Structure 1
Amino acid sequence: MATTKGIFAPNGEFISSIAQLRRLPLTALRVFEAAGRTGSFAAAAGELDLSPSAVSHAIRKLEESADITLFTRGTRTIALTREGRLLLEHVQRGFEEMQRGFQLAFPEQTVKPLRLHTAPSFATQWLMPRLARFVAEHPGINLRLSADTRYAQFDNDDYDIDLVYGEPASARHEKIPLIIEELTPLCSPALAQRIHSVQDLYANPLIQSDGQSVRWGGWFSANNLATPADFALAFDRTSMCIAAAVDGLGVVLESTLLAERELASGKLVAPLRGQSTSVRYVGHYLVYPKRQQQHAALRQFKDWLLAELAQSAMACG
């Protein structure tokens, strides 16, 4: 039988044989995963209900067994080495695969759904039109979706993932900025016939999106113009603002990402794109708790989401 020279060859040969791999204690790998993910022996100890010294001892024993240094240690800080980062990635995947294996081995057990919380307008304008592709590509994943403007707290284990509008302040969770969005004036094709320059906006009804962190005032300032004193309409949901613009009720300052369908179908146009300054910012974030055992489908949903957003970025660019 052929032997395996290195687990991660050619990237490294710090575990030289299958026999050496078998000597590595699974409990120590769990401790390493928690310490590597949290960046703290103390945080890992709290998560695993161990003492910090027990965590340190388990990591040291793992390093000795594998003959590798996994962390650089400072007075009060630790940091993964290159080899530690590489091992952490594979250990996390291994735990996910084991969890998936148990689900496949015991199909009679109820599969835990992936519970997704999302900002309402992101759900209706961008996520829902694409969700059929995710379901088709991952038929074994049960998805539960809830939408409101509050951030998911995760304290009661109600959700696995949150897609939020605006950067969350908490540092207790993993936080991934999703895409740079472009805010530019949008309106129906009929209304666009009356808009040939930025000055024409003053003679046309403007729709204010109260739910936006950047509103008309920010756009007019970016274009060195005075903000109008009054607006024709105002809504607290992006979806309502976009629908009003499609119906010809006025010009709305909205994200081309969230209005992607309407722009692609021609229901909305961007009459001043290219002759005015758009506002660009990161509007949405993917957030999930720092847990030792994540839902097995979390990585699959995250990878799918980022791939879909990359396609949207090309379409909106």
Structure 2
Amino acid sequence: MAQHLPLTALRAFEAATRTGSFRAAADDLGLTPSAVSHAIRGLERDLGTVLFEREGRAIRLTPEGETLMRHVERGFGELQLGIGSVAARRPQLLRLHTAPSFAAQWLVPRLGRLLEECQGLELRIAAGADYTRFLADEFDADIVYGAPPPEFYGGAGHQGVVVLPLGTEVIAPLCAPAMAPRIRSARDLYGEVLIESDNKRVRWPAWFAANGLAAPAPRGPRFDRSFISLSAAADGLGVALESTMLAEREIASGRLVRPLQGICEDVVYTGHWLVFPRTKRYARSMVLFLGWLTRELGLDIALDDLEAAGQPR
């Protein structure tokens, strides 16, 4: 075994495991595919083992390769943390993509607290309903509504990304205070205008079913974003079925109330998820943001807990 630390070969190995091919690794490192292949073959020779199974241009880690991958990622991650600590005075940029209603209703109202608690963090936010694939390196993390399908990030399982549930949410009927006195049971909702949210994972039929009733035929206004439905409900246009987490400001201010709280069954589910490339989990900006986000949501997630997350299956 070589007595020196083959950093160049290890960088090639890390890039190949992350991108899934020698050619993509070469593009990532600014090298030729033959240089990457030569570096990895040299590493295999030094270690006395085969790290990749090669099938044409396709590559797949061997068990020995998977073991080395975990240690190499941790090693490069520790280097990232160390460099980030030394350069802590420089702004730490995090490019975040997020579901629109989560951004408008939950994240933006907390931005002041986030930037105050995470000194040096520079945040750029883009909102959209689509999932980020992290192919062009345009975003560092994505807060998505609805768990992304495993095959979305390539193959069976969330290969190369960490997918973390951001706690559970309560989905309940919400209305303006003036409407609440006439809503005393689930059946009373039959006489009310029910606001429809087209893109919600939990809609009125699921809520009525949880309370042993059939949902009435849709007849209220329809919106494609939760923050619009919440605004319409607060203005007295009808009853919205929305997340109390997203509506916490309106509930706290009294603009919205839960007329059937403690009377009817509400739906509890995991609505939002944080997704980011596994290789980003040691970046200082990600460590700062993830620490703040989990504290704010009351979640118990430590950096060490991410070791097994996002591993290929």
Task: Give the TM-score normalised by structure 1.
Answer: 0.71
CA deviation after TM superposition for structure 1 residue 266, in Å: 2.7
- Opposite residue 256 of structure 1, the aligned amino acid is T
Percent identity for Structure 1 against Structure 2: 45
Q: Could you tell which deviates more after superposition, 296-305 or 83-92?
A: 83-92
Which of the residues 164, 178, 201 maps onto 1:190? 178
Instruction: Name the CA distance, whole Å, in 1 between partners of 2:211 and 2:16.
Output: 48
User: Residue 58 of structure 1 corresponds to which residue in structure 2?
Assistant: 43
User: Residue 146 of structure 1 corresponds to which residue in structure 2?
Assistant: 126
- Give the total of aligned pairs: 280
User: Residue 114 of structure 1 corresponds to which residue in structure 2?
Assistant: 94
| C-alpha distance 43-270 of structure 1, shift in aligned 2 (>3 A) | farther
SS in 1 for 2:261: coil
Task: Give CA deviations for 1:165-201 in whole Å, capped at 9, x if unaligned.
Answer: 1222312451222222221111122222111111111
CA deviation after TM superposition for structure 1 residue 290, in Å: 4.6
User: Residue 171 of structure 1 corresponds to which residue in structure 2?
Assistant: 153
Task: Give the TM-score normalised by structure 2.
Answer: 0.72
CA deviation after TM superposition for structure 1 residue 275, in Å: 2.9
- Opposite residue 43 of structure 2, the aligned amino acid is A
Q: Return the structure number with greater relative CO, CA threshold 8 A, min gap 6.
A: 2
Which of the residues 128, 131, 135 maps onto 2:108? 128
Alignment of 1:300-311 (within 5 A): 300-310=288-298
User: Residue 209 of structure 1 corresponds to which residue in structure 2?
Assistant: 197
Instruction: Name the CA distance, whole Å, in 2 between partners of 1:136 and 1:78.
Output: 45
User: Residue 19 of structure 1 corresponds to which residue in structure 2?
Assistant: none
| C-alpha distance 133-43 of structure 1, shift in aligned 2 (>3 A) | farther
Task: Give CA deviations for 1:210-239 in whole Å, capped at 9, x if unaligned.
Answer: 121221122112222111113332211111
SS in 2 for 1:163: strand
User: Residue 213 of structure 2 corresponds to which residue in structure 1?
Assistant: 225
1:253 aligns with 2:233: no
SS in 1 for 2:173: strand
Which of the residues 245, 253, 277 maps onto 2:265? 277
CA deviation after TM superposition for structure 1 residue 29, in Å: 5.3
Contact 1:164/1:285 (<8 A) preserved: yes
1:159 aligns with 2:144: no
Unaligned runs of 5+ in 2: 54-59, 155-159, 300-313
Task: Give CA deviations for 1:26-58 in whole Å, capped at 9, x if unaligned.
Answer: 4465467568878x8979967665656854753
User: RMSD between aligned alpha carbons?
Assistant: 3.8
Q: Could you tell which deviates more after superposition, 161-170 or 147-156?
A: 147-156
CA deviation after TM superposition for structure 1 residue 126, in Å: 0.3
Unaligned runs of 5+ in 1: 1-21, 312-317
SS in 2 for 1:183: strand
SS in 2 for 1:94: helix
